[in-house]
Amino acid sequence: MQQKRPVVMVIMDGIGINNDDFGNAVKSAYMPTLEHLLGTCPNIQIQAHGTAVGLPSDDDMGNSEVGHNALGCGQIYAQGAKLVNESIASGRLFTSQTWQTIVTNCLEHNSTLHFIGLLSDGNVHSNIAHLKAMLIRAKEEGIKRARVHVLLDGRDVGATSALKYIEDIENLLSELNDGDFDGRIASGGGRMKITMDRYEANWEMVRLGWETHVLGIGRQFPNATEAIETYRTELGVIDQDLPAFVVAEDGKPIGTIEDYDSVILFNFRGDRAIELSRAFEEEHFDKFDRVRYPKVIFAGMLQYDGDLKIPRRYLVTPPDIQHTLSEHLIKYNLKQYAVSETQKFGHVTYFWNGNRIEKFDEVLEVFEEVPSDKVPFEERPWMKAAEITDKLIEALESGKYSFLRANFPNGDMVGHTGNFAAAKIAAETVDLCLARIVKAVDRTGAILIVTADHGNSEEMYEKKGADGSIKPKTSHTLNPVPFIIYDKKEKRELKDGKFGLANVAATITELLGLKKHEAWEESMLKS
């Protein structure tokens, strides 16, 4: 098949479709460009959550990582929680060499097994069920002492739901604790305050997490519940923004990480786990002063970066994603361009290319990162959308590229704040940029695809409770996302049926006049 005009893909991160007006920042926003495209162009709604992106069930919200995996590889791979669920259910996790090494280390040195991770059942970064299964197994295998370092969610689950998960773990530990086993929560803090930075945007978060979990430095409380309740009273912030705390007795922290301990980072998603993994594993580490570097056996739930081998030890093997769209286009010698700001740069590169840091081809792939601002997203909801647009248009008008993709993080990153007014501005910002891109597409004769990786800003409030109260919703959604084709030169039609993000790759190749890879899901274009 003969190559056709360039294809430009805009990913409106976190902008889904919701017909309900309640809490819908997208529907409330002034978005004439998107409305025009939906009213005049071939478009359908596609699935961006649950089984359509490799998650265990359709009750599992999508996320940017699995979303970009599916977009970039045209296939549905078992992902994150599903992989871990299967590994625990089969027993493979506990027969793995890594688990055995962790346990043996604790038994030989009479040392502590530490668990660090996001404490919720959001199924985006982690699941509390995985932690519970490992705690139970640890006691069965003779571990004497376990400490849990909790990162509070309020983002992938209810904004103020932390105490529910704290109570769940405390109840389990109470059941397990006896003369042979001592398990306790040792430290914690909100996920957007400590530990879980990504893309090296704010190493200070990781430093604070290290001080909290490893060194036991921080404000002390007798237990996690009192810490959370105190901070809520004093500060009035939601879970993700709660400051760090250390559980202590008689002024001494109960769970510092020492030489010969074992440590498991039980998050399965990679982006917010890589930096802490580096702090534990790199002997010559220069991102912050660790004060001391304990000699521990460290493992992640998965390997978060397969190219850089981070971490060296992991409990569950990640999916081996093959036959990506990028690889396929390179076979045809087609040049590709990817751009976003720091917050989502890894999504249009690393996750898009099947969890691969390195390019498949240094010449045929061009990646451009716009540095993100280091301010709260609700204070600057336009983020770097204008700069991303500048670079995308420049690349398109250069005539060098056959396929160009851009991610606008606004709908997701601002949506996570729970600030409705800011999320509305974020959506309007994306629309303004989309208008500029449409004009550039017209000038160059390109084809434009507009879609999203999952929903978020279209559902900013939790449903009203019995008392009529309204709570901010900071998590992703179960809503579908739009898929739009804008082509002024050729009439396009889309098939009827149920499609998901994995169908996009084949659709792109067909628009480029190429055959799809045989392993991919089908194209959504009518032949």
Q: What b/e string do you get for 207-231 counting C-beta neighbours within 10 Å, with b at 16 or more? A: bbbbbbbbbbbbebbebbeebbeeb
User: Tell me, what amino acid is at 427?
Assistant: A
Helix (H) or strand (E) holding 108: helix 97-109
Name the 3-class secondary structure at 147: strand
How many other CB atoms are found less than 10 A from the CB of residue 73?
30
The angle at the Cα of 350, spanning 79 to 281, to the nearest 5 degrees, equals 85
Amino acid of residue 358: E
Q: What distance in Å separates the CA atoms of residue 451 and residue 12, rounded to the nearest whole number?
A: 6
The residue among 297, 284, 233, 251 whose CA lies nearest residue 102 is: 297
Angle at 421 between CA 416 and CA 427, to 5 degrees: 70
The DSSP 8-state label assigned to residue 296 in this structure reads -
**Is-contact 520 508, C-beta < 8 A?**
no
User: Token pair for residue 36?
Assistant: 């025009």
**CB contact set of 304 (below 8 Å; sequence gap of 6+):** 269, 270, 271, 273, 274, 277, 310, 311, 314
Q: What angle do CA 434, 348, 511 make, to 5 degrees?
A: 65
Residues in the chain with pLDDT < 50?
1-2
Asked if 482 and 40 touch (Cβ cutoff 8 Å), the reply is no
pLDDT digit string, tens, across residues 170-218: 999 999 999 999 999 999 999 999 999 987 889 999 999 999 999 999 9
What number of residues does the chain have? 527
Decide: helix, strand or coil at residue 227.
helix
Tracing tokens 């400490």 back to the chain, one arrives at 147
Q: Which of 496, 487, 488, 506 is nearest to 526 (CA)?
A: 496
Which pLDDT does position 306 carry in this prediction? 63
Q: Could you say which DSSP state residue 480 is in? A: -
282 within 8 A of 210, measured Cβ to Cβ: no
> CA-to-CA distance for 215 and 194, rounded, in angstroms?
14
Predicted local distance difference test score (pLDDT) of residue 320: 81
372 among known catalytic residues: no
DSSP 37-103: HHHHS-EEEEB-SGGGGT-SSTTSPP-HHHHHHHHHHSS----HHHHHHHHHHHTHHHHSHHHHHHH
Catalytic residue among 28, 57, 64, 527, which? 64
Reading the block at residue 234, the tokens are 């004093």
pLDDT for 266-318, tens place per residue?
Answer: 999 888 999 999 999 999 999 999 999 999 999 999 988 765 789 999 999 87
**Domains annotated on the chain, with CATH:** 7-79+320-463+471-511 (3.40.720.10), 81-316 (3.40.1450.10)
Question: Cα–chain-centroid distance for residue 102?
Answer: 27
Cis peptide before 311 (omega within 30 of 0): yes
Give 311's strand partners. Answer: none
Give the helix/strand (H/E) hosting 256.
none
Task: List all residues 6 or more positions away from 525 whose beta carbon is below 8 Å from its beta carbon.
Answer: 492, 493, 494, 495, 507, 510, 511
What tokens does 247 get?
């559980």
SS3 for 228? helix
- Residue 1 pLDDT: 43
pLDDT recorded at residue 241: 97
